Amino acid sequence: MVVTAELKDLTARRGMVAHYGNGFADLAGFFADLAVNWRGWSGPKRYESVEGDLLLEAAHTGSHVELAFTLQDPSLHDIWSVRGKLTLDPGEELTDVSENLKELFAPPQRPAP
């Protein structure tokens, strides 16, 4: 999977490797947890990809979810990394993101015998 971060006049892309056992189910699970707890939580919730290419930190402000991200090449993290922050509405918008990721990363359906 390729992750793209677009920030004003900057675009950064990084290919990510899926976990051999569950693909990107952990990423979908991270957003599912945020959506289920849309009313709020204490402290930050964190996600890190298998190779450390993508780091996410979600904080609930009471009215919004602030999602900070870092996209980097872990072997070159002292050379380049891109950081940014998104603000999401904790209700429908967050649920839509969660559902879209769940659908995107769902295991392929096997045909019936």
The answer on pLDDT for 63 being more than 80 is: yes
Q: Is residue 85 part of a domain?
A: yes
- The single-letter DSSP state of residue 40 is -
**pLDDT score of 20:** 79
Residues 6 or more apart whose CB falls under 8 angstroms from that of 82 comprise 5, 7, 10, 12, 70, 71, 72
Domain count of the chain?
1
What residues make up the domain containing 18?
2-104
Question: Exposed/middle/buried for 59, CB within 10 Å: 0-12, 13-18, 19+?
Answer: middle
Single pTM value for the model? 0.85
Q: Is residue 109 part of a domain?
A: no
Could you tell me which residue, 14 or 108, shows the higher pLDDT? 14
Q: Is residue 40 part of a domain?
A: yes
Q: Is residue 89 part of a domain?
A: yes
